[in-house]
Amino acid sequence: MQGYRLSVHNLPQEVEERELDGSAVAVIDVLRATSTICQALASSAREVVPFIEIDEALAAANRAGRENVVLGGERRGLLIEGFDLGNSPAEYTASAILGRPVFITTTNGTRALQHARFAKNVVAASFLNLSAVVASLKNEPQIDILCAGTDGSETSEDILLAGAIVHKLMSGDSSHWTANENAKAARSEWKKIAADSEANDKTLHQLVTSSLNASLGGQNCIEAGNGSDNLYCAQVDLLHVVPRLNLREWKITAS
């Protein structure tokens, strides 16, 4: 069990794409792409296909038959013209999706997924599926946690979730883990909240919501009229889905 490596990257540009070769990568965009992807799959989406550009998503939807897919995403936090849904996870209900694939493009999250394309495997992480993600990673010898950030800036909500993942992975006997400095710092931030919540789920939700409201991403949501997403995305372990990116077929399915 020696030599297990655990690294947090506060922004994608902190690590070269090729450095993720052979690693299990958890991509984080708490507000809101990875939270929305989790919710979409939990609400019966057949798959979620991430796109970088709006035109790419539109062209793919037209090829598939526009009525056969759900187009979702945002620019500047707002619904994209011609799209079905924005980037609020609460929009992604079973009745809105109807078992169809979701094609999604966002400002930061789908770019972070693209950055991980050379990894061994990639999962989408959020507070909504925290424990499920940790369970899926616990036997991986090399883990990189990739925070999407916001427009090239670090976001404390992504780092807080990274810290929660690190803390859960390292709980108990952590002697076999070698964590980088970002991972240690992120874990310290999470431990403050975990200690304050005293294992009370309601208090934990309140503390995480408060952290999200105060974060750069959270403030952007509030300014765009999406403040309720902070409350929604702060729910720890609401879902048990692990969105896994099939790197060859470039689609995310539940596992």
Per-residue pLDDT 10s for the chain (255 aa) are: 457 999 999 999 999 999 999 999 999 999 999 999 999 999 999 999 999 999 999 999 999 999 999 999 999 999 999 999 999 999 999 999 999 999 999 999 999 999 999 999 999 999 999 999 999 999 999 999 999 999 999 999 999 999 999 999 999 777 789 999 999 999 999 999 988 877 688 899 999 999 999 999 999 999 999 999 999 999 999 999 999 999 999 999 999
Please report which helix (H) or strand (E) contains residue 170, including its range.
helix 156-170
Which DSSP symbol is given to 80? P
- Residue 62: left (phi > 0), alpha (psi -120 to 50), or beta? alpha
Can you tell me the distance from the alpha carbon of 89 to that of 85, in angstroms, rounded to the nearest whole number?
A: 10
Residues in CB range of 37: below 8 A, 6 or more apart: 48, 50, 104, 109, 124, 126, 243, 252
Tell me the longest C-alpha to C-alpha distance in the chain. 52
Which DSSP symbol is given to 175? T
CATH superfamily of domain region 4-254: ComB-like (3.90.1560.10)
Domain definitions of the chain by residue range: 4-254
DSSP secondary structure, 75-103, as one string = ETTEEPTT-SB-S-GGG--HHHHTT--EE
pTM, 2 dp = 0.97
